[in-house]
Amino acid sequence: MSLSRWLLIKIAGAFGLLPHQRVRRYKVTLFGESLGTFTLPIGDHMENPNAPVRPVLTKPFRMALGEETFFYWVEPKSDGFKTVEFHPPSPELRDEAVRFYSTAHGLNADGAPDPARQPPLSTRTVEETRFIRAILQNRGAEQPYADYAAWLSARGDSYGDYIRLTLELEKLPEGDTGRARLEERREKLVAKDGPRWALPLANIGIYPGVYIGGFDGFFPTIFHNSKGVIEELDVDSNALVFPTNAPRLFYAAPFLRNLSVNNLNITVADIGVAPQMAQIESLALFVGTGTADDYRHFAESPHLNGLHELQLVGYRFGPEGAAHLASARWMSGVQKLDIGANAIGDAGAEALAESPYVTNLNVLELGVNYLNDRGLTALCRSAHLARLTVLHVARSTFTATAVREIPSATFAHNLRSIDLMHCGLDFAGARALADADFPALKSLMLAGGEYPYEDGEYRDAEPCGDAALQVLVAAPWFRRLERFYAIACGGTDATAGAIAELGFVELQELLLGGNQFTDAGVAAIVRSKAVTKLKKLNLSNNPFGAIGVSALAETDLPALEEIDLTRIPCGPAGAKALAASPHLKNLKKLWISEEHIGLIGRETLLKRFGDEVMTFIS
């Protein structure tokens, strides 16, 4: 046995996936329907392992880990459910496990669903469809859900009782004496009928639950929200949904509106073909790269008119793909567009800027598209982007000439967030931003230093420098910022002093890693009125030590939840100061370099904060 296989088996064993299991032959039934006869592992949950018939509550699921494949499914047991795992130890049993999986799901030799072997798609009555449509048309109101629940209950469907109990629970605050009673009633319903409610999802390869570290996490209602229905799903590559079974997905989850698809075996062209996609409001795709024609077909889909949010990151579809998206009529409803890392360049940015269908865009994420002045200028001058509130164009190269376009952009007065990280902002560009009127601005993100470029090489974005940072900090709109990133920007204690002198401001996130702040600069910041509302503070990779860390530990910052002190040589003394702090009571995350605090410092911090808070960077 190879070392890699031995390690994989050890890891699988830790997850409850046992590679060596006793087996025997069973006739497998799913709610009374025969799936066939298969050789399967004998489970310790089975009251009579020698019984010829073996009932299951789901068809088998498949999970690939490297070159190994594990199969798992859910069976009844005396006190509930049991997820059974099968890691076949021999080629013969691997073939048998594949046969079980393929037969149960009606798959072709290539693993795709065989239309001729799929059961007929279930249908709903006109009356039930009317109840569902009433919810889809008014998701925020409770009454349509209550009406649907009553209709189901009147027909003997316990799922209606589940929805009703969930709606009642939503009205009760935590700690209310009535909650326990309602939760107990709901749990009994789920234990009795939950597997049948989850069956339509399980039949297309979506496991309703989690199974980690030997904890059996089959939860039939894990995807259900506070109104008792499914509105959001992640569909991974092990699911049997796209492209052929999309209608079955929407039968299983008729209220679905937020969908994430992670499957490199399909492309965007496979997503927009189902008419039911019209009800999807948020779509995140992590699929195969595809061709220009795939993006054209996606853009031409008549079934995406309900989209409000679209995420297509990392496909490198270039200017042509961007042009196809810009031509999509359904883009007129999209409010948030994230097409980062797609190499759209200036031509792609111009296509978006010129599109008459982007008039409702509020958020535009174009990071890692390597724009230049031409692209930024086109965006800022677009008559169609007047509603933009978020402009993120990180990892581009702009001169001060293009940056000056931002204050005069059609959307300047609406801007809430600007991301110019690794864009080469210089003093002149910073001055242009500082002199602007940004009445709505809440977030400004800047960074210098190295970053990976599209050719695989690293490039170096010049830091804007200490003088530029001081100019920005002095801008009138800076006092309203809630988030300020200035990472590797060449900041010194002079910038720290400028921040400290602001008095009470709105800052909640302050990321200043990779600069030149000393103990004095850090002490000035943390002891100032400017950070009284701070929730997140990043001071990593700055040349200060125990004195600066002690100043942080001694200061009462009641809202502070996250601190990053990575690569800060604070020594055991700094660790001791943090551990002894009478403050930091709401801290949720603390990053620190283990090499700089030693074993004693590590144990001291763990004793105070615990391993849920502490992350030690090696």
pLDDT digits (tens, 9 = 90+) for 55-91: 999 999 998 887 888 899 999 998 889 999 998 989 9
Cα 484 to Cα 500: distance, rounded to the nearest angstrom: 14
Q: Examine the fold and report which residue of 76, 91, 117 is the final residue of a domain before the chain moves on.
A: 117
Answer yes or no: do 404 and 329 share one domain: yes
Of the residues 74, 91, 117, the one at which a domain ends: 117
Predicted pLDDT of residue 214: 56
- Strands (E) located in 57-185: 61-65, 68-77, 80-86
Give the pLDDT score at 212. 60
Is pLDDT above 50 for 13?
no
What is the band of 12 on the pLDDT scale with cuts at 50, 70, 90?
very low
* pLDDT(2) > 60: no
User: In 327-425, which residue ranges form alpha helices assigned H by DSSP?
Assistant: 345-354, 373-381, 400-403
452 and 532 belong to one structural domain? no
Q: Is residue 525 part of a domain?
A: yes
Measured CA to CA, the distance from residue 178 to residue 214 in angstroms comes to 33
352 and 277, same domain (yes or no) = yes
Instruction: Give the per-residue pLDDT at 7.
Output: 47
Write the pLDDT tens digit of every residue in 169-187: 999 998 888 899 999 999 9
Averaged confidence pLDDT in the chain: 93
Do 541 and 412 belong together in one domain?
Answer: no
Lowest-confidence pick of 370-384, 448-462, 574-588: 448-462
Whether residue 496 sits in one domain with residue 439 = no
In the predicted structure, residue 482 carries a pLDDT above the cut 90: yes
Is position 389 within any domain? yes
Report residue 501's pLDDT band, with 50, 70 and 90 as the boundaries.
very high
Residue 19 reports pLDDT greater than 80: no
Q: Label residue 10 by pLDDT band (50, 70, 90).
A: very low
Q: Taking residues 99-115, report their average pLDDT.
A: 94
Nearest in space to 24 (alpha carbons), one of 45, 52, 46? 52
Res 432: pLDDT = 97
Quick one: what percent of the chain has pLDDT higher than 70?
94
User: Are the CB atoms for 30 and 53 separated by under 8 Å?
Assistant: no
At residue 294 the predicted structure's pLDDT band, cuts being 50, 70 and 90, is very high
Residue 502 has pLDDT above 90, yes or no: yes
pLDDT one-digit tens code per residue, 389-432: 999 999 999 999 999 999 999 999 999 999 999 999 999 999 99
Residue 215 clears pLDDT 70, i.e. is over it: no
Same domain, 369 and 422: yes
Q: Mean pLDDT, to the nearest integer, of 344-368? A: 98
pLDDT of 564 higher than 90: yes
Residues 74 and 130 in one domain: no
In a domain, 218, yes or no: no
Cβ partners under 8 Å of residue 442, min gap 6:
416, 417, 480, 481, 482, 483, 506
Q: Kindly report the length of the chain.
A: 618
231 falls within a domain? no
Phi then psi for residue 23, to 5 deg, are: -130, 160
User: Same domain for 341 and 366?
Assistant: yes
Does residue 473 lie in a domain region? no
Distance in angstroms (rounded) separating the CA atoms of residues 56 and 83: 10
**Which three-class secondary structure state does DSSP give residue 433?**
helix
Q: Which residues contact 41 (CB under 8 A, 6 or more apart)?
A: 18, 21, 22, 23, 84, 86
> How far apart, in whole angstroms, are the C-alpha atoms of residue 135 and residue 141?
8
Phi, psi of 35 (to 5 degrees): -95, -15
Q: What is the pLDDT of residue 452?
A: 67
Average pLDDT of the segment spanning 518-544: 98
Would you place residue 484 in the very low, low, confident or very high pLDDT band (cuts 50, 70, 90)?
Answer: very high
* One domain, residues 295 and 413: yes
Question: How far apart are alpha carbons 447 and 367 in whole angstroms?
Answer: 13
Per-residue model confidence (pLDDT) at position 450: 76
User: Of 111-120, 381-390, 597-606, which range is least confident?
Assistant: 111-120
Q: What is the pLDDT of residue 8?
A: 45
Of 83, 26, 78, nearest in space to 60 by CA = 83
The answer to whether position 564 is within a domain reads yes
Task: Supply the pLDDT for residue 456.
Answer: 61
In a domain, residue 477? The reply is no
Whether pLDDT at 29 is above 70: yes
Where do we find the tokens 């269908």?
A: 357
Domain that holds residue 80: 3-117
Number of structural domains found in the chain: 4
Return d(Cα 365, Cα 24) in angstroms, integer.
55
- Indicate which CATH number applies to the domain containing 429: 3.80.10.10
Query: Both 278 and 404 in a single domain?
Result: yes
The amino acid at residue 562 is: E
Average pLDDT of the segment spanning 139-143: 96
Kindly state the average pLDDT of the residues 530-556: 98
Q: Are 55 and 36 in contact (CB under 8 A)?
A: no
Concatenating the DSSP letter of every residue in 116-145 gives: GGSPPPP---HHHHHHHHHHHH-TT-SHHH
Quote the pLDDT of residue 461.
Answer: 78
> Interior CA angle at 199 toward 258 and 278, to 5°?
30
Q: Please tell me whether residues 203 and 86 are part of one structural domain.
A: no
pLDDT of residue 462: 87
In this structure, are residues 208 and 235 in contact, taking their beta carbons and an 8 Å threshold?
Answer: no
Q: What percent of the chain is modeled with pLDDT above 90?
A: 88
* 270 shares a domain with 364: yes
Q: Is the pLDDT of residue 532 over 70?
A: yes
Domain's final residue, options 117, 134, 166: 117
In a domain, 85, yes or no: yes
